[in-house]
Structure 1
Amino acid sequence: MAENMNTYWNENGKFEVEIKQLNDLRPDWGMTDNPYINLFIIASNVYYDVYNNGGGNLRDNYPRKIEEYFVPFASELKSLRLNVKMDTIIRNLKKKEKLERFLDEVILYVQDKDLNYDKHTIYFDNDKEEVSKTKVEGFSVITFGNQKDCTDWVNHRMNAWNFKMVG
């Protein structure tokens, strides 16, 4: 039944315009210091996992994230019970009809919230093994939602892969 539904997976979700706007706000890597955008990030990551591989990663990779990013909103988000055992939450998230309603609700809930956060940008060239904090012609760009993720990403490339800082 879910396969015939209007879904975000088939780019025909109930709030398709809004989800595209929210996706444009996401950092490329990691979380932010903003609880509302983090709620959306994890909700959309769960959504992807369910549609991409049946939610096969939910039990292993998402309990802490659900606890940290969904449960604080349990009193506001009513389409999915979040004040139950984690196994129940995960089982319900795997039900595509419930997941669609939950994502609809998250989109509506965050729409009027302040979704600002400090975005950290790094430019890189994997072939040249170079990274830069300033824009360099021909380099790829990656954004982070917090300084720690940004610093860790750069340090890993510099220390483990011998990238050089340029610019």
Structure 2
Amino acid sequence: MERVIHSAADLQYATDLVMAEEDLVRAHAALHAGAPVVVDVEMVAAGITRRETVCRLRDAVAGPGLTRSAHAIRLAYEQVGPGALWVIGNAPTALEELLTLDAEPALVIGLPVGFVGAVESKAALRESGLPAVSNVSEKGGSAVASAALNALLYHPVSHSEETS
């Protein structure tokens, strides 16, 4: 929460973010064990430090009933398979597409921004039961999504995680 608040200079994230501690603990372990990190846009990737990411937006094309962002998520899933950490800070349609896949994510950081579809896509994420970080408002974006991932990336690995 601190990194998200700091990245946005917005204290309202203290009451807007939704996450479960046990999801974060498992995601932290997966991340530090080498699970892939998939992002929806290059701006999210640019904010994630010290870790390679997968972003397939440049390879994606829009088609009937499928946005370019949604297609990029499909392409990324074909590349990484289950168990990845998914960081979505821009496109609600990317988050919606992820929810249609059998991605078995280690964590979904679903913080797309905007007035069209963002709130609904984040509500669908929370209703899905997948391990997630989201928020209830229209707020979000690349900076806060990457900050949430960086919080896990920079949090020290505990001895119990190293031995499990």
- With normalisation by structure 2, the TM-score equals 0.31
Larger Rg: 1
